Structure 1
Amino acid sequence: MKRTQTTLTDLARLGFAELGEAGERLASVDASLVPHFANAADPDQALLLLGQLRESAPTDLDALLRDDAAAARLVRVLGASLGLGEFFLRRPAELAALATDLAHPLTPEQYRADLLEAVEGLGGDPAAVALRVRYRRHLARLAAWDLGHVDPLAAMSVAAAALSDLAGAALDAAIDVARRDSKFPAADVAATRLAIIGMGKAGARELNYVSDVDVIFVAEAGEGIENDRAVEIATRLAMQVMRGIHDLASEPELWEVDANLRPEGKDGALVRTLESHLAYYDRWAKSWEFQALLKARPLAGDLELGDRYVEALSPKVWSSASREGFVESVQRMRERVTDNIPHHELDVQLKLGPGGLRDVEFTIQLLQLVHGQTDDAVRQRATLTALDSLADQGYIGRVEAAEFARDYRFLRLLEHRLQLSKLRRTHLMPTDRDALRVLARASGISTGTDDLLEQWKRTKHAVRRLHERLFYRPLLSAVAALPEDGLALSSEQATARLAAIGFSDPAGALRHIAALTGGVSRRATIQRNLLPVMLQWFAEGADPDHGLLAFRRLSEDLGEAYWFLRMLRDSSGAAQRLTQVLSGSRFVSDLFERIPEAAAWLENDDELRPRPLPQLLEESRATVSRHQGEPDAAALALRTARRREILRLAMSAILGTLTVEELGRALSDVTTALLTGVLAIAHVYGDGIEFAIIGMGRYGGAELGFGSDADVMYVYRPAGATHEEAQSRAEGIVRSLSRLTEDLRIPLDLDIGLRPEGKTGAIVRSLESYRAYYARWSLTWEAQALLRARGVVGDAELITEFERLADEVRFPVGISEQDVREIKRIKARVESERLPQAADPSRHLKLGRGSLSDVEWFVQLLQLQHGAEVPGLRTTSTLGALHAAVGEKLVLPEEARRLHDAWIFASRTRSAMTLWTSRTADVLPTDRQQLEGVARLLEYPPGSASRLEEDYLRTTRLARQVFERRFYGTGPANRPTTA
């Protein structure tokens, strides 16, 4: 035998981890074997087992190793499966199983014939041992074929089918033994028919290397025997079959034969007649039991009886989705499975956890049961075959189906390799790095542990996302047919009709319609039914042409996602809402191009409600945690989440489901959630400073609108660092905040213009610097700016200290007449100098007469004058302070109502203009079409452009009268009069 000397570098290149031990063991190994270890999942294990075989069975081993191809198969098997290595140590003669190459797995008939031959003439324990040894001989050959396959993902389904066929053959052999060992009269046993129905993975031909084999036993009396007697005998046979497979013997059990899916579960009879089964499913079965029958297949025993069982129950399975609450019951069952996972297993569960195999299987089964009621094509047992059929029939998009299939194969491959390792049933990913390295090699991931974990992580997220999208959006009802006299899209008068109902470019609309309805695909068929109705709804919007174009783009993004078409077909409310938001807002349609799946929210009012701040903050923290060490990726995820939430709020605002005050708070919360996440990236806690972001202006008042800047100030406090170090680190954080929040799609301008000394001041100051500045240099406008200062993100104690300092400045015990005059002078200067050139003061929503600034400056003057003694005025909310002023009789109710109405009207209009044009604008347009679009968003009826204009001018004119009298008045003008 030729020996070899291998360097440590060579050993590492081959994949050995225990280099010293490997070097010593390889010294006694023939040199021709060494290269084969590179193909072993665990070279160290393969080498150790090879040495043990040489000690215990040198003759059998040498006979196999004479053939290089056989030696390669052995090393691969030993490196991937300690369980099969131990089998060969127990049964060295079975090494001969690897002597010849398995070109492809055997057929079910071949497996059955060979296992029956193995137990022929045997009974009791010898039969059980013979069966298990022969089974594992085939298992070793199949594993060698599987591990040697160039594409492990492609081999997975073939191996699973072969394992299922092998299991069926083992059950047939066990039945054969049980019949011979039976204590009942031979004639009665022969007259007793017993079928074993494969359920779950066994029925679908999807078994793992060590799956439980779920079964149902069915008996029938043959000639000369009563039913009760046949059931009694069949029950005894079934029990003996189960014992032959998994009771204690000198050869370990194969797997568990699990009959708990039978009627009444563990409490039910182990064996029933076909008639008894049918009676149960007619009267008592729950919805989940029909789902369990989805994969039922004659597996062993009397196949003719098994066929009749499946045929009889099939109509009941495929009509079960019509049961009341069926869909919801399946969804709840999946959720219960997840809820019952032990906490320590949740993140490592391949099968049951979020993003695991059950998410794929439950999704496909539910869609099958729903659509299979009327479509025979999707009535498939195997998961991947069913997935292909769902895609072919248009119920799932082809891209989604391909992703689901790929992810399912990958998860199943990991499950296969884990179970093959020790021939034990497990669904838990290892956490040990060495075990993960071996799993990666066994799964064909040559790049190692980190890539395996990353691929698994991506797969889980993709599976969970698709599961939630499909599993909770199945078919709910049949599509409603259009009236016979509905709009005919193919009519010669189509162009005229489109123009008549409101389309400005009917020829362009026809092109969109043709693109949406052309071809023979299922999508085109559904769109042809949908569009006649939807065109009428688009025509009711302010811009039907843009709405139809946006719908075409959205359909091209989502058209292959079956949930989208089903949502449109089955929920006219959702479809009508979609036409409303698309024809009413370029802002929303632009965002839909990035987040098309948001269309699903239109089915559910709860999905359109603002998400609570704690929930947003939790998501931000989780996002940062998921992307630990990847600041740009984390920031991108945070910005994407912000876009998503802004789209949610935009849709809600258009549909009128939230007030402008709720919108202001919600947009402010979304900004806070983003800044919380970004600050967690930019600020390394424990770096020697405390840091906080102070919301100012409309952000501080929780009054943001679409397109609003986020006014902020930054504050820090040294916590171990020197002053110079702390200042430098704080400035670095500010720069990072600006970079990480930059978003070209929905810009977020972190405006620091309200800081001390304005644009010439430091971008960030320490708390003590703020304290010193406000004590010595603060101007009146800076005290006024602090009225809406609110700590939003950062160290809680620092925020509290800053707000306490701000209170001392913004709520002075007294304010001088000189300071009041200064405020009025600055306001007049703002009106004359900051108003854009040529802008009509009566139409400017922010700086114009009676607009936002008039209301806010008046309220802020009241706060400066009376905040020290009136607690209700110590709020950053404009309307909150105005309400408190009325309570203190600082403002007459009628005056407050005028100011309130103007502020609300201007705020709503400003946001509506952003929604309509997808641009920020502050001037009420004069263009009638633009005015009409804004009016429709403000819930005016069609043709209300002039009415909107008149209402705005009148409302702000009345507010301006109050402002001029109360703000610019002389003497005690801040106290109302009855005049």
Structure 2
Amino acid sequence: MSSLTRTLITHGFSDLEKSERFLGFRELAELDQAELLAALRVANDPDLAVQSLVRLLSAAPEVYSKLTRTHPESGEVESNEALFRLLGASEALVDFLIRHPEHVDVLDMPSSPEPVAADGAALRSSLLEAVGADPASSMPLATMTGCAARLALRTRYRRHLCELAIRDLCAASPQDVMPLVGAELADLAAAAMEGALAVARAQVAGVFCAEAVARVHLAIIGMGKCGARELNYISDVDVMYVIETAPPGVNDGGRAGEADAVTVGNALAAAISQTIYAPEREPGLWEVDASLRPEGKDGPLVRTLDSYLSYYQRWAHDWEFQALLKARVIAGDAELGERFEEAISPLIWTSSEREGFVTSVQAMRRRVTANIKASEAGRQIKLGKGGLRDVEFTVQLLQLVHAKNDKSLRVKATTGAIAALTKAGFIGRTDAAHLDESYRYLRVLEHRIQLVQLRRTHLMPTAPEQLRALARAVAGPMSLKRPSAQSLLDDWAKVKRRVSTLHERIFYRPILATAAHLSAEDLALATDAARARLAALGYRDTVGAQRHIEALTAGVSRRAALQRQLLPVLLGWLADGVDPDAGLLAFRRVSEALGTSHWYLGMLRDHQAAAERLCHVLSSSRLVTDLLAVSPEATAWFGNDKELVPLSFDVQWAEIQSKMSRHPEPSDAIRLIRLIRQREILRIAIADCSGLLTQDQVCAALSDADRASVLGALLVAEADVYAGEPALTRLLVVAMGRQGGREIGYGSDADVLFVHRAVEGADSGQAQQQARLLVSKLMVMLTQPVRPAIQAERVLSVDADLRPEGKNGPIVRSLDAYKEYYARWSSPWEAQALLRALPLAGSDELATDFVRMVDPVRYPSLLGEAELREIKRIKARMESERLPRGADPARHVKLGRGGLSDVEWLVQLWQLQHAHAHEALRTTATLPALYAACELGLIAAEEAQLLESAWRLAGKIRNANVIWTGKPSDMLPSSRRDLEAVARWCGYEPGQAAAFEEDYLGLTRRARAVFEKHFYG
């Protein structure tokens, strides 16, 4: 391998044999080869650069003097970076300089890293002057026509294109200047159209009379990328033509007929296309494409403004309004073009209200992807998955849906629209940054690929040397390393994945379809008409609702802007709940607490299921809204079902132990334990409201939260008591009642027994005294206010009334005292109460001994007639004495007919009678014991199912009362509104409260009959 070959490799050359041959050409013989190779290092494609240099020097020897330049500051002679960058980036522009060596002075431009500055007015003047037209005229008329005009216009255009390409190629960051490059390319295309129109006027005047041509005003409307000022280096320029005849008194004092105007307009449009693109010694610039006009290629080429409006109002398809999104007058009669823009604007921004608009736009994007040729699918930068179209369709759909009431979103350029949507909150900042960065990257890829041959292509090259050159072009002149072909493909794949993910998440947001159907009136939230709409939705205090709405939408913050757009949708979801007014107030409180949190706005915007679930819960649950007011950060759980899975006892206990280790002070520790319990109640309630938990799972989760709290409080109490004196006893907390059966609800107390056993060698009296102190501290810690106070806390009330002798007996006894009491004095109801005794917290050894001690009491070998009569007597007495005064027995879900008490007492009776002989009945839970009795033939299966249904429904009603009002109640509500809320909670459709009430009363009536048959029979 020769030293030159090695040098070429280190300088980034690929076609070594060909490049060595060109370096030996006579055109380069006088140049210092080392200096030349050093200069070629800046070229994206050194092979192309050296070949182009030889060709250019052959055609224009004056370029020798431009190979170097004097640095303006240091005065040192250096290589002409602009020249070598152009040589290695665009063979087509070098060909232009070879055809027109008089324009090689463009290479004298300084290579500056400063951003490109576009000047549309200067470009317009330059291209009009190129064809001999006066830029100051209201209707410029060229003095050149035919071949001469085409040659002059195209030459001047490409001269400016060279200037732009040099500034682009020398910019420090291609991605940063991309929007400016696209804007100048669009301005340059608009200037070319203006020049071509001036030529067309002159040519058509030779066919028609000059006066007829002068009477016709023509506005050229740029569409697509040209309209948005984000054009490619080579692309079709999409246009529409609007015509209008001069008003009376102009020119000939008359008004030409529309038919004559259309004839002249068609001739002008045809002449424009010919000037721009017809075959000529200087190649055409790009195709002028009018296919986006009404009716496409089958429709008239030119129309009046009224004709356009008539079409768009009556026959236009959804995609045509999306196309109009970027419509902008680019040439011709500016006043007419502005009137066109103004007239179609309302049609564009209300188009999303059309039936099925969002789904049709989404379907069109899928069709575009589906129609890509299989051979091109993996190479498409523009149309493929994760390509430019994904970004553009995503941004345009968001604009079409939300810009009807937010004019700040009516931005034509994609990068500007992304910024506007981000500022308004419709795209998260991180997503927007990724979307903008990816779009710029893809556009630079497209620009650099097209620049080589100035051919309209959107395909990634496959040749390794082309990929290497493209990788360098995309990296830009400030890159410290030469990226490889593989690194380019890896980066492109990463960008495609990112764009595809963002597109799928944003473009297919379910909330878009809902928001699209909202009219401008729906979005006007502070008017009298708005109050009427609120009343129609079901808001009772419409004035108060408007106050909340005004508070939520006032100002210019991202939160206010986003909520102005989303509130009409959210108000409808809130109205689907039982109390929209309370829901809106709760939503305001949550929003004020979390409004600056990016994740909260993102959840409302991006996750319809979460936002809808939040609205439903806020308008249906006072319990949740009260707890959310204290812990608004828990709102994040609505968007993540994994967060709504109740934490197991073991997980809670591990967290409590961790908190206690870091906070040894009893007051601090117990406050944290109670906060954990409150957090878990909120988690369970939200999951329950969202339909994520079964009734049994709710009971178990609530029981776990209570157990962890009691155990934590017991350890805090022990640490406090034992710190000042030796431990004389060990305490056991035994769950009783529904707590023992793990069947509690949101409003349940903790029914417990306290059992202790003195440590070996301790004085029994002192042990008893220490046990009382432990119990006292435990109950205070669980129930008394803490400092600082826990707002809206669901305090765990500890109830020890089921202990021997009830309220008259000692609150804590030793295990031996319990054993003696149950052996000598216990009554049947106390044995019955022990059926649900379940160790909750404390000494494991003591728990085992306690269960062993009470099993013979609660599972007696024989239940005598006297005990049986006593149980029945107590049940009857309880029904008559414990029911609240004036309460309807049919509506009391606990003590009323067929309610919780009936089912539980019947099951417990069977346990007292048969559990000694049948182990399946030895359970603290009601339903397992019920079906064990069914298996033993004590009750028929259909009767057991009836009792289960009544028991479950009664339990649901108790929970629903707490969820709805925030307060416990054992009554089936009489108020229609409360009954409606409870009915919905129990799974009934809106408006079915009466049916629910009838079902409950009928079910419990039948359950009562079964109870009486087996309990009293």
Scaled by the length of structure 2, the TM-score of the pair is: 0.54
Residue 159 of structure 1 aligns with which residue?
181
From the superposition, tell whether residues 526 and 936 of structure 1 become closer, same or farther in structure 2 (CA, over 3 Å).
farther
In 1, the alpha carbon distance for the partners of 2:684 and 2:493 equals 30
Residue 212 of structure 1 aligns with which residue?
236
Residue 18 of structure 1 aligns with which residue?
15
Structure 1 position 266, deviation (Å): 0.8
Residue 489 of structure 2 aligns with which residue?
453
Checking the alignment, whether the CA contact within 8 Å between 1:195 and 1:305 is kept in structure 2 is yes
Residue 44 of structure 1 aligns with which residue?
47
1:85 aligns with 2:94: yes
The 3-state SS of whatever aligns with 1:352 is coil
Q: Which runs of 5+ in 1 are unaligned?
A: 491-514, 603-607, 609-647, 664-834, 843-848, 850-885, 910-930, 948-979
Of 169, 172, 178, the residue aligned with 2:200 is 178
Structure 1 position 46, deviation (Å): 0.7
From the superposition, tell whether residues 559 and 939 of structure 1 become closer, same or farther in structure 2 (CA, over 3 Å).
closer
Of 370, 376, 381, the residue aligned with 1:345 is 376
Of 56, 59, 71, the residue aligned with 1:57 is 59
Q: Which moved more, 1:266-275 or 1:59-68?
A: 59-68
Checking the alignment, whether the CA contact within 8 Å between 2:621 and 2:963 is kept in structure 1 is no
Checking the alignment, whether the CA contact within 8 Å between 1:394 and 1:562 is kept in structure 2 is no
User: Which of structures 1 and 2 has the bigger CA Rg?
Assistant: 2
In 2, the alpha carbon distance for the partners of 1:118 and 1:143 equals 20
Of 163, 166, 175, the residue aligned with 1:144 is 166
Structure 1 position 584, deviation (Å): 7.8
In 2, the alpha carbon distance for the partners of 1:349 and 1:595 equals 41
From the superposition, tell whether residues 291 and 413 of structure 1 become closer, same or farther in structure 2 (CA, over 3 Å).
same
Q: Which moved more, 1:433-442 or 1:346-355?
A: 346-355
Checking the alignment, whether the CA contact within 8 Å between 1:567 and 1:600 is kept in structure 2 is no
Checking the alignment, whether the CA contact within 8 Å between 2:685 and 2:963 is kept in structure 1 is no
In 2, the alpha carbon distance for the partners of 1:546 and 1:313 equals 37
Matches within 5 A, 1:926-945: none
The 3-state SS of whatever aligns with 1:211 is coil
Of 343, 350, 356, the residue aligned with 1:325 is 356
Residue 756 of structure 1 aligns with which residue?
none
Residue 168 of structure 1 aligns with which residue?
190
Matches within 5 A, 1:492-503: none
Structure 1 position 394, deviation (Å): 3.3
In 1, the alpha carbon distance for the partners of 2:6 and 2:947 equals 81
In 2, the alpha carbon distance for the partners of 1:453 and 1:899 equals 68
In 2, the alpha carbon distance for the partners of 1:517 and 1:553 equals 14
The 3-state SS of whatever aligns with 2:244 is strand
The 3-state SS of whatever aligns with 1:214 is strand
Residue 148 of structure 2 aligns with which residue?
126
Q: What's the CA shift string for 1:93-117, capped at 9, x where partnerless?
A: 4323222338755522222222233
The 3-state SS of whatever aligns with 1:300 is strand
Write the letter of the residue equivalent to 2:106: A
Residue 101 of structure 1 aligns with which residue?
110
In 1, the alpha carbon distance for the partners of 2:351 and 2:588 equals 40
Structure 1 position 202, deviation (Å): 0.8
In 1, the alpha carbon distance for the partners of 2:552 and 2:452 equals 52
Write the letter of the residue equivalent to 2:559: R
In 2, the alpha carbon distance for the partners of 1:469 and 1:295 equals 24
Q: What's the CA shift string for 1:731-751, capped at 9, x where partnerless?
A: xxxxxxxxxxxxxxxxxxxxx
Checking the alignment, whether the CA contact within 8 Å between 2:368 and 2:383 is kept in structure 1 is yes
1:558 aligns with 2:561: no
Write the letter of the residue equivalent to 1:462: R
In 1, the alpha carbon distance for the partners of 2:563 and 2:128 equals 57
Checking the alignment, whether the CA contact within 8 Å between 2:151 and 2:281 is kept in structure 1 is yes
From the superposition, tell whether residues 650 and 424 of structure 1 become closer, same or farther in structure 2 (CA, over 3 Å).
farther
1:469 aligns with 2:505: yes
Write the letter of the residue equivalent to 1:564: R
Checking the alignment, whether the CA contact within 8 Å between 2:505 and 2:606 is kept in structure 1 is no
Write the letter of the residue equivalent to 1:243: Q
Residue 693 of structure 1 aligns with which residue?
none
Count of residue pairs brought into register by the alignment:
652
Matches within 5 A, 1:758-837: none
Structure 1 position 401, deviation (Å): 2.8
RMSD, aligned α-carbons: 5.8
The 3-state SS of whatever aligns with 2:240 is strand
Checking the alignment, whether the CA contact within 8 Å between 1:209 and 1:423 is kept in structure 2 is yes
Q: Which moved more, 1:87-96 or 1:156-165?
A: 87-96
Matches within 5 A, 1:375-774: 375-444=406-475, 446=479, 448-449=483-484, 450-471=486-507, 472=509, 473-474=511-512, 475=515, 476=518, 478=523, 483-484=541-542, 486=544, 521-523=557-559, 556-561=597-602, 564=605, 567=608, 575-577=615-617, 599=639, 655-656=690-691
In 1, the alpha carbon distance for the partners of 2:164 and 2:544 equals 61
In 1, the alpha carbon distance for the partners of 2:9 and 2:961 equals 68
Write the letter of the residue equivalent to 1:40: A
Checking the alignment, whether the CA contact within 8 Å between 2:240 and 2:290 is kept in structure 1 is yes
The 3-state SS of whatever aligns with 2:150 is helix
Structure 1 position 25, deviation (Å): 3.9
Q: What's the CA shift string for 1:188-236, capped at 9, x where partnerless?
A: 2232222211111111111010111010011122344322112101101
From the superposition, tell whether residues 20 and 313 of structure 1 become closer, same or farther in structure 2 (CA, over 3 Å).
same
Q: What's the CA shift string for 1:504-563, capped at 9, x where partnerless?
A: xxxxxxxxxxx999996242687799899799999999xx99999999679824234385
Q: What's the CA shift string for 1:415-446, capped at 9, x where partnerless?
A: 11111122111122234433222111101264
Checking the alignment, whether the CA contact within 8 Å between 1:372 and 1:379 is kept in structure 2 is yes
Q: What's the CA shift string for 1:785-833, capped at 9, x where partnerless?
A: xxxxxxxxxxxxxxxxxxxxxxxxxxxxxxxxxxxxxxxxxxxxxxxxx
Write the letter of the residue equivalent to 1:201: K
Q: What's the CA shift string for 1:699-744, capped at 9, x where partnerless?
A: xxxxxxxxxxxxxxxxxxxxxxxxxxxxxxxxxxxxxxxxxxxxxx
Of 54, 66, 69, the residue aligned with 1:67 is 69
Residue 201 of structure 1 aligns with which residue?
225
In 2, the alpha carbon distance for the partners of 1:562 and 1:939 equals 24
Checking the alignment, whether the CA contact within 8 Å between 1:49 and 1:85 is kept in structure 2 is yes
Q: Which moved more, 1:219-228 or 1:521-530?
A: 521-530
Structure 1 position 595, deviation (Å): 13
Of 268, 277, 280, the residue aligned with 1:237 is 268
The 3-state SS of whatever aligns with 1:184 is coil
In 2, the alpha carbon distance for the partners of 1:199 and 1:524 equals 33
The 3-state SS of whatever aligns with 1:345 is coil
From the superposition, tell whether residues 653 and 141 of structure 1 become closer, same or farther in structure 2 (CA, over 3 Å).
same
From the superposition, tell whether residues 308 and 37 of structure 1 become closer, same or farther in structure 2 (CA, over 3 Å).
same
Structure 1 position 896, deviation (Å): 11
From the superposition, tell whether residues 356 and 551 of structure 1 become closer, same or farther in structure 2 (CA, over 3 Å).
farther
Checking the alignment, whether the CA contact within 8 Å between 2:44 and 2:88 is kept in structure 1 is yes
The 3-state SS of whatever aligns with 2:220 is strand
Checking the alignment, whether the CA contact within 8 Å between 1:395 and 1:562 is kept in structure 2 is no
In 1, the alpha carbon distance for the partners of 2:409 and 2:590 equals 34
In 2, the alpha carbon distance for the partners of 1:350 and 1:841 equals 73
The 3-state SS of whatever aligns with 2:458 is coil
Checking the alignment, whether the CA contact within 8 Å between 1:53 and 1:89 is kept in structure 2 is yes
Write the letter of the residue equivalent to 1:368: Q
Write the letter of the residue equivalent to 1:109: A
Residue 1003 of structure 2 aligns with which residue?
none
Write the letter of the residue equivalent to 2:599: L
In 2, the alpha carbon distance for the partners of 1:411 and 1:66 equals 33
Scaled by the length of structure 1, the TM-score of the pair is: 0.55
Checking the alignment, whether the CA contact within 8 Å between 2:59 and 2:101 is kept in structure 1 is yes
